[in-house]
Amino acid sequence: MALNPRESGKLIATLATHVKINREGIKKLGDILVEEISTGKLSPDNFSQVDVHPNPEDPWAIDWLFVVDTLNFCFWHHENEEGWKVDGHTGYFALCAAINRALSEEVKILDPDFYSTITEDRLLKILRSDTKVKVPLLSERVQCLHEVGLTLMEKFDGSFKNVVIKAENSAENLLNLIVENFSCFKDEAEYKGNMVSIYKRAQILVGDIWACFRGKDLGHFNDIEKITMFADYRVPQTLLWYDILEYDEDLLKMLKENTIFKNGKEMEVEIRGCSIHAVELLQEYASSKLEDKKINSILIDHFLWDFRRKHAKEVMEKGLPFHKVFSIYY
């Protein structure tokens, strides 16, 4: 059995040889996060302020989140290449826009009876790009939709809402239900003789439900603090920017040579695991400074991911490349 993401992050950070966490960086960014929380700039309410996201009042919101996070992986492209784009959006937001476009065209993309048998051609049309670039890993996306759609119909009466209800307001229960029932969310690896878990997409699904519903109704979890950050290929760049993560020369050389890393291999696991532990340290530091407000790893992840998106050019100019992986897990 794999360690949970928090335990995995701590273990990986302890054993890592290619990635180091700097405590001075934790303090530097931690003070910024305290300010962001104290002024209300950093809040779960910001989720609904993005026009491609559903509102908690939308009756289909929970199934929208499930379909989007089933497909929420591998949008990157090389810096000098044109990427996949939908309605002017790139990356994750392009996926959101594509699903919203499908709904406006009355495609039953939120119905597991539809997507459990979807063809590559049909999904390609749904995810069609403004550019000539097709969405990466199309066949893997089809496989993911087939798997989760069949499982929903066989075990949960055709709606992810029933999975959420079964979790009984526990984020940890919901996380376990997701990874135990939907194998395409089971993001695990063997690292130096230990089975570890990252669970990026499974955790972001729980986090998105919490943020979309603003911690109420279906988004009310008694233990939301048990969810860690969502270890992808963008957030580590922000942690590098703030001198929280430090890579050794071998890893930096591979990054700058645009090496394609293998999911589950040592360097890749260290980047993701150390990112998790670094955010846990940030959360501990910021929480110790906050008196009447709370901060969790989900909100910190939102800050880190948004920072990288807003400052993409400066991050690249500073020579902080992201690790490139073809994977369904992030």
Catalytic option among 232, 243, 292, 306: 232
Give the CA-trace dihedral at 140, 144, 150, 156, to 10 degrees.
180
Q: Which residues, at least 6 apart from 292, have a Cβ–Cβ distance to it below 8 Å?
A: none
As given in the structure block, the two tokens for residue 270 are 């260290």
As given in the structure block, the two tokens for residue 76 are 């990157």
Phi, psi of 327 (to 5 degrees): -150, 150
Q: Helices 200-212 and 297-310, interaxial angle, to 10°? A: 100
Counting Cα atoms < 13 Å in the Cβ hemisphere of 217 gives 13
Residue 301 is a catalytic residue: no
Q: Which residues, at least 6 apart from 239, have a Cβ–Cβ distance to it below 8 Å?
A: 25, 245, 275, 278, 304
Q: What is the amino acid identity at position 101?
A: R
> Annotated catalytic sites, by residue?
232
